């Protein structure tokens, strides 16, 4: 998940760098992976390097709605169910506060265990009957589940994007103010030197006439 525009500090580059390094470390062929991008920054980066971008979404609003990520969820689940890919991960910036965020990598599919591996229990597990079948229920719920995860990450990333852009703009404003102060000081010194030179020349001319 990245933004469509820049001027957001390291918001886009941190996600892009992590995904790029992960792909280069784990895969040797573009047939082994697929990239779904949200935001123009990621799309432009990976397409410029001829990497396997199978779906792209731009123009996500500052107040995202479910409809904007439905295609992502349905395509992601479909490729997983068809056996095209055996794992699906999402990379995004998690908003912490107005001045900091952290990069997160989360597994969407396959579903992780609800309890830690190796946990032992003597509890008797209850057997449930499903109507309709478990498979039919899963076919309906799985896309909705993935959609909710993606949507939650998108909202989180949007908050981090706005915070990063605000911080970057504040830093740019502070740097511009410092630059203006330095240039004003240089200008005043140069102006004072010019005035002093003119006065010296006038005084020298008067003295010569006397």
pLDDT of residue 124: 57
pLDDT of residue 3: 94
pLDDT at 23: 96
Three-class secondary structure of residue 58 per DSSP:
coil
pLDDT in tens, 38-54: 999 999 999 999 999 99
Query: CA 109 to CA 122: how far, in whole Å?
Result: 29
Q: Considering the chain, what is the average pLDDT of its residues?
A: 87
53-57 and 35-38 as β-strands: parallel, antiparallel, unpaired? parallel
Paired sense of beta strands 88-97 and 53-57, if any: unpaired
Distance between first and last Cα of the chain: 80
Is the CA virtual torsion 145, 150, 155, 157 positive or negative? positive
Predicted confidence at residue 120, as pLDDT, reads: 53
- The residue that leads in pLDDT, 13 or 129, is 13
Does the pLDDT value for residue 185 go beyond 50?
A: yes
Give 123's pLDDT tier (boundaries 50, 70, 90): low
Helix (H, G, I), strand (E, B) or coil at 125: coil
pLDDT digits (tens, 9 = 90+) for 131-184: 888 888 888 888 888 889 999 999 999 999 999 989 888 888 888 989 999 999
Residue 155: which residues within 8 A CB-CB, separation 6 or more? 64
pLDDT at 115 over 50: no
Query: What per-residue confidence (pLDDT) applies to 33?
Result: 93
- Reference 79, options 55, 57, 60; nearest CA is 55
CB atoms within 10 A of CB 13: 14
pLDDT at 113 over 60: no
> What pLDDT does residue 114 have?
47
Query: Per the structure block, which two tokens stand in for 4?
Result: 């469509």
pLDDT tens per residue, range 54-94? 999 998 888 888 888 888 888 888 888 888 889 999 999 99
For the beta carbon of residue 133, count every other beta carbon within 10 angstroms: 9
Has residue 122 got a pLDDT over 60? no
From 62, 37, 68, 39, select the one nearest 51 (Cα to Cα).
37
pLDDT of 210 strictly over 90:
no
CA dist 60 and 72 (Å) reads: 12
CATH superfamily of this structure's domain 1-112+134-210: ATP synthase, F1 complex, gamma subunit (3.40.1380.10)
The SS3 assignment for 177 reads: helix
Which of 76-80, 113-117, 153-157, 201-205 shows the lowest mean pLDDT across its residues?
Answer: 113-117
Report the pLDDT value the prediction gives residue 126, as an integer from 0 to 100.
75
Question: What tokens does 169 get?
Answer: 């703009």
Higher pLDDT, 206 or 83: 83
């Amino acid at each position: 998940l990245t933004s469509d525009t820049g001027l957001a500090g390291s918001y886009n580059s941190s996600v892009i760098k992590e995904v790029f390094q992960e792909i280069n470390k784990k895969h040797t062929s573009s047939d082994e992976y697929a990239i779904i991008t949200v935001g123009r920054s990621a799309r432009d980066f990976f397409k410029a390097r001829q990497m396997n971008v199978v779906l792209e979404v731009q123009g996500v609003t500052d107040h995202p709605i479910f409809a904007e990520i439905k295609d992502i969820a349905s395509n992601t689940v479909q490729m997983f169910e068809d056996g095209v890919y055996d794992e699906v991960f999402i990379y995004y910036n998690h908003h912490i506060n107005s001045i900091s965020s952290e990069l997160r990598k989360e597994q969407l599919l396959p579903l992780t265990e609800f309890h830690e591996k190796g946990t032992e229990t003597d509890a008797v597990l209850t057997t449930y009957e499903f109507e309709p079948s478990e498979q039919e229920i899963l076919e309906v719920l799985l896309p909705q589940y993935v959609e909710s995860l993606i949507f939650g990450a998108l909202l989180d990333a949007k908050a981090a994007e706005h915070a990063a852009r605000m911080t970057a703009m504040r830093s740019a404003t502070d740097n511009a103010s410092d630059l203006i102060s330095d240039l004003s000081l240089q200008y005043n010194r140069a102006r004072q030197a010019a005035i002093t030179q003119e006065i010296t020349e006038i005084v020298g001319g008067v003295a010569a006439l006397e």
